[in-house]
Amino acid sequence: MSPDIESIRSQFPILGQTVYNKPLVYLDNGATTQKPQSVIDAVADVYVRCNSNIHRGVHRLSNICTEAFEEARRAVARHINAACAHEVIFTRGTTESINLAAFSFGESFCAQGDEIVITAMEHHSNIVPWQMLCERKGMKLRVAPIDANGDLDLEALGRLLNGRTRLVAVAHVSNVMGTVNPVARIVAMAHAAGIPVLVDAAQSAPHLPIDVQALDCDFMAFSGHKMYAPNGIGVLYGKESWLDRMKPYQGGGEMIEKVTFERTTYNVLPFKFEAGTPDYVAAIGLHRAIDFIGSIGLDAIAAHEHRLARAAIERLTAIDGLRLIGTPAQRAGVVSFVIDGIHPYDIGLLLDKMGIAVRTGHHCAEPLIDHFGIAGTVRASFAVYNTMAEVDALAAGVRRVAEMMK
């Protein structure tokens, strides 16, 4: 059943505003999503009712917050179908999750001459931490190519896997082209060679149903703020069998079992990887965001966003001189384009004056943008609260810009 978009929109106070006297058309959801009232209320409620640092307190408020934080962890585990809640590590976001994995996995399982395989469509967050690991250890970063449509070349990826490959790190969904990568197949290929896989789910967790056990991935990273939750909270999922054997990332409170000046022993999962005070307020907000997503259903969300993306492509490609960047076989609700002779930044600025928020530039995927030999793209990215009328406004706005700048 199609979701009731007007009722959904009414839960997002920010969407009702005007920008330059035009109704806000917010199409920058790949960067961050807006927050429903239930999430905003959940955050305020903690500060009004029970704020207190977690885990270490014996008093009532601390117990309430601790229980809500751990309940949020259980909600995340259910949301991605993790085998157990302690496979869910709370971080600040996808970036920190991948840095954690790259550091701790690298320290525990990598040595000089080893290799990490990524793809040509990765976000900087899934390139640079691996590059840093390679620099630290004298390892090699190998990059699986994409074809002209923006689909991953699976055969080429397969050829990169060898006895020195320690891990494959791949985006579930490209934040530039919307390409949905066949991660289950990639995991099967890598596992056949005994290689674990990390999935960057920053752009899929808000939009596609995810089952880490069915995918059988070894690690998965995503950000709360891209899935209707507050900023400052994210997740690294990892299989217990890996996490248990990995060295800690940061040292400090919470991650220890016993500290003496001579020696420290570490806490059990998940706390071993959660040094210091976590953003328990944002984690509680993330729980409400998962409830919000659950109230609609990710299948319905994906179908709605897919309809919007299809309509956007149909209307945009009818504009003279407009070229899509990426025409993948399977696409999530992300559409990138360029217009001959007009800088993406200028298109974004002019759309903004019409109240339309899109993102322009390299989208933190510079190697991919270089691959296409362009300065950047204009990107529209959809969320469940976007409407067909907003797609029409985008297409009309882009057409106006194209005519103005001719």
Whether the CB-CB separation of 47 and 279 falls below 8 Å is answered with no
Q: How far is the CB of 225 from ligand PLP (least distance, A)?
A: 6
Phi, psi (rounded to 5 degrees) for 80:
-105, 5
Exactly one of 65, 110, 134, 364 is catalytic; name it: 364
Q: Which stretch binds ligand PLP (CB under 6 A): 121-129, 211-219, 239-247, 396-404?
A: 121-129
Min dist. Cβ of residue 214 to ligand PLP (A) = 21
Say whether residue 165 binds ligand PLP (CB under 6 A). Answer: no
What minimum distance in Å lies between the beta carbon of 1 and ligand PLP?
29
Local structure of 323: helix, strand or coil: strand
The minimum distance between CB 328 and ligand PLP, in angstroms, equals 14
Q: Which span (13-21, 46-54, 195-203, 335-343) binds ligand PLP, by CB under 6 A?
A: 195-203
Contact map string, positions 23 to 62, toward ligand PLP, x by CB under 6 A: -------x--------------------------------
206 lies in the site for ligand PLP, by CB under 6 A: no
CA–CA dist 362, 112 (Å, integer): 32
DSSP summary character for residue 248: P
For 202-240, letters b (16+ CB in 10 Å) and e give: bbbbbbbbbebeebebbbbbbbbbbbbbbbbbbbbbbbe
| Closer to ligand PLP by Cβ: residue 30 or 196 | 30
C-alpha to C-alpha distance for 406 and 115, rounded to whole angstroms: 48
Only one of the segments 148-156, 197-205, 265-273, 345-353 lies at the binding site for ligand PLP (rule: CB under 6 A); that segment is 197-205
Q: 3-state DSSP call for residue 153?
A: coil
The reply to whether 304 sits near ligand PLP by the rule CB under 6 A is no
Closest CA to 121 of 178, 162, 160, 167: 178
Rounded distance between C-alpha atoms, residue 18 and residue 25, angstroms: 9
Instruction: Pick the binder of ligand PLP from 134, 139, 177, 202 (CB under 6 A).
Output: 202
Looking at the DSSP assignment, which residues form a beta bridge with residue 23?
18
Q: Which of residues 61-100 bind ligand PLP (CB under 6 A)?
A: 93-95
Q: Which residues pair with 293 in a beta bridge?
A: none
- Residue closer to ligand PLP by CB (options 253, 361) is 361
Provide the token pair at 24: 């806000």
Q: Which is nearer to ligand PLP, 173 or 339 (CB)?
A: 173
- Segment near ligand PLP (CB under 6 A); pick from 187-195, 199-207, 343-351, 387-395: 199-207
Task: Give DSSP secondary structure letters for 181-196.
Answer: --HHHHHHHHHHTT--
CB 127 within 8 A of CB 367: yes
Shortest separation between residue 333's beta carbon and ligand PLP, angstroms: 13
Residue 364 catalytic?
yes
* Token duo for residue 49: 């009712």
Between 94 and 104, CB nearer to ligand PLP:
94
Closest approach, Cβ 29 to ligand PLP, in A, equals: 10
* Closest to ligand PLP by CB, 28 or 114: 28
Query: What kind and span of H or E run contains 88?
Result: strand 88-91
Q: Contact between 125 and ligand PLP (CB under 6 A)?
A: yes
**Which of residues 114 and 200 has its CB atom nearest to ligand PLP in the complex?**
200
Which is closer to ligand PLP, CB of 342 or CB of 363?
A: 363
> Is residue 100 classed exposed, middle or buried when 0-12, 13-18 and 19+ CB atoms within 10 A define those classes?
buried
**Distance (Å, whole) CA 212 – CA 205:** 11
Contact residues for ligand PLP (CB under 6 A)? 30, 93-95, 123, 125-126, 171, 175, 200, 202-203, 223
Q: Which residues are catalytic?
A: 364
